[in-house]
Amino acid sequence: MFKSSRYLAVALSAAMVLPAPALADHTLAQQVHALQLQMQHLAKENARERQRIKALERSRQQSELPQVSSPNVVTAEPAVYQSTPSYLDPLPSQNHYVEASAPSTSAAHLIAPPPIAQQTYGKAAPTANAVKAVYQQENALFSKGLTLTPAATYTYGDNRFFTLNGFMALGAIFLGNINVSRQQNSLYEPNLNIAYGASNRLQFDATIPFVYRSSMYSSQGAQTSSAQISERNTHSGSIGDVNFGLYYQLAQHSLGSPATILSAHITAPTGITPYGIKVYQDTANNNLSYVESLPTGQGAWGLQLGATMIKTLDPAVVFGGVNLAYNLPQHYNDISPYVGITQPGTIQPGGSLSFTIGTAFSLNDRMSTSFSFQDSMVQPLRERPDGLPWTNVVGSALNAAVFNIGATYAVSKNLSYQTVLAIGLTQDAPNFQLTFRVPHVVP
């Protein structure tokens, strides 16, 4: 009886041990299946995180722009933006992305989403810096609060004139005076632009310039000798024409649509008027004509309306704009340039149409450069002496085209340096113009 019991116990133990290989195979299959589920989950998390990083990068670019989008902005990935700020709110200086932590080896955590940890990353998007530089060139900063922009501009231009005063005899002989003259003009204009951002789309600004002008008049033929040159230097300095107005940015309906900025400005005739300034003849050398004072303003109220569009085409930014200017008629007690003659009358400076096209690039996270072409077509000046009809002043129509090369260096979030060199392309344009500006957002 005892032996039978022992044999039964041994048989039961063997029966329990025999299915062990099959049981091990079943456990291994479960582990493989769990690992496959884990890999699928990690692949989904990886794709989700890539989408989130791309979305945050686009959000960063939008936050770097001096603008906000429309409340009707349609986001590409609604689920991804649940933990990110709205487009209507300013984003923080550093955005965040999420990184999945290592999943637990426990089977109970294979399907549940793994925990996440926030980490900071990156510098400002280069494209956003280029866009900001374009806004600064337009003076449309759209920074809430007060922004002060001291600037200085130097402009140089010269003109040469060849004058024949006489008549042709026998079709080949000229009888009269031949005058070869040159006029060199230098203009120094320090100015201060004061901008106040009422919102992320509306900005008011005013520009107060001080203008110092110097002109050198020279003419060949002093003392009736073609080898001698007579010269005369004239200079004037005073406040220029004060300009004030506003910028307004239209709402964007999608991330890919261009930013559109509208502007309206008024120019007040606070500078020295150019009308009624007398032209004198050099008593020692009657071949030279000159003026004793120079204007620092246009002498009439002016209205300007403009529109600018900015489009991001990574890695470049393209922009274009158009501006219309209209000047109101102004009455003066004297509009005659001749010494000893006083002629009251009304003057209306010619209106103008100008357009600009260009592109900008970021060289790194702080510096960007831009290139643009600008052409201004000015209508002829009109005058009406008292008691006489309106007439156009011959030779007063202009076509001034320039090529601009700009560079912007961001010292900090609130301070940057900007330089623009304009090279004249037509005879009516100055030879060159160099501008240095320092936009500073008051904290």
* pLDDT tens digits, one per residue of 85-130: 333 333 333 333 333 333 333 333 333 333 333 333 334 445 566 6
**Does the pLDDT at position 250 exceed 80?**
yes
Which tens digits make up the pLDDT trace of 1-49?
444 444 444 444 444 444 545 555 667 877 888 888 888 888 888 888 8
Lowest mean pLDDT among 314-318, 340-344, 402-406: 314-318
What pLDDT, on a 0 to 100 scale, did the predictor assign at position 377?
Answer: 96
Determine the pLDDT at residue 27.
77
- Does the pLDDT value for residue 196 go beyond 90? yes
pLDDT of 138 reads 63
Which stretch of DSSP H or E encloses residue 130?
A: helix 126-137
Instruction: Tell if the pTM clears 0.75, that is, is over it.
Output: no
**Is the domain covering 126-441 a CATH 2.40.128 domain?**
yes
Q: Mind giving me the DSSP string for 220-235? A: E-GGG-TT-EEEEEEE
Better-scored residue on pLDDT, 132 or 328: 328
Which range, 33-47, 208-222, 245-259, 424-438, is most confident?
424-438
Q: How far is CA 144 from the centre of its chain?
A: 17
What band does 183 get if pLDDT is binned at 50, 70 and 90? confident
- The CA distances from residue 431 to 135, 157, 185, 400, in Å, are 26, 5, 10, 11
Highest averaged pLDDT of the listed ranges 104-118, 208-222, 271-285, 380-394: 380-394
In angstroms, the CA 312 to CA 291 distance is 49
Q: Is the pLDDT of residue 153 over 60?
A: yes
> pLDDT-based confidence at 333, cuts 50/70/90?
very high
Per-residue model confidence (pLDDT) at position 237 = 93
Measured between alpha carbons, how far is 76 from 90 in angstroms, rounded to an integer?
19
Percentage of the chain exceeding pLDDT 90:
37
Bin 201: left if φ > 0, else alpha if -120 < ψ < 50, else beta.
alpha
Give the pLDDT band of residue 302 (cuts 50, 70, 90).
Answer: very high
Would you call 44 exposed, middle or buried from its count of C-beta atoms within 10 A (0-12, 13-18, 19+)?
exposed
pLDDT bin (cut points 50, 70, 90) of residue 136 is: low
pLDDT band at 145 (very low <50, low <70, confident <90, very high): confident
Listed range (75-79, 227-231, 243-247, 274-278) with the worst mean pLDDT: 75-79
pLDDT at 133 over 80: no
In 3D space, the residue among 170, 201, 227 whose CA is nearest the CA of residue 88 turns out to be 201
- pLDDT greater than 60 at residue 167: no
Question: How many C-beta atoms surround the C-beta of residue 408 within 10 A?
Answer: 26
Confidence of residue 239 (pLDDT cuts 50, 70, 90): very high
Distance (Å, rounded) from C-alpha 352 to C-alpha 115?
A: 63
- Which residue, chain included where needed, has tokens 């925990």? 115
Average pLDDT score, the chain:
76
- Phi and psi, residue 210, nearest 5°: -120, 130
- Residues 6+ away with beta carbon under 8 Å from 135: 65, 66, 141, 142, 261, 310
CB-CB contact of 63 with 90 (8 Å): yes
Taking the C-alpha atoms of residue 185 and residue 190, their distance in angstroms, rounded to an integer, is 17
Q: In this structure, is the dihedral angle defined by the CA atoms of residues 413, 414, 417 and 422, taken in order, positive or negative?
A: positive
Under the banding of pLDDT at 50, 70 and 90, the label for residue 195 is very high
Segments making up each domain of the chain, as ranges: 17-120, 126-441
227: number of CA atoms within 13 Å, CB side? 0
- Per-residue model confidence (pLDDT) at position 130: 65
Q: Please write the tens of the pLDDT for every residue from 418-441.
A: 999 999 999 999 999 999 999 998
CA angle 271, 158, 391 (to 5 degrees): 60
Which residue type, as a one-letter code, is found at position 65? L
Q: Which of 82-86, 259-263, 314-318 has the highest mean pLDDT?
A: 259-263
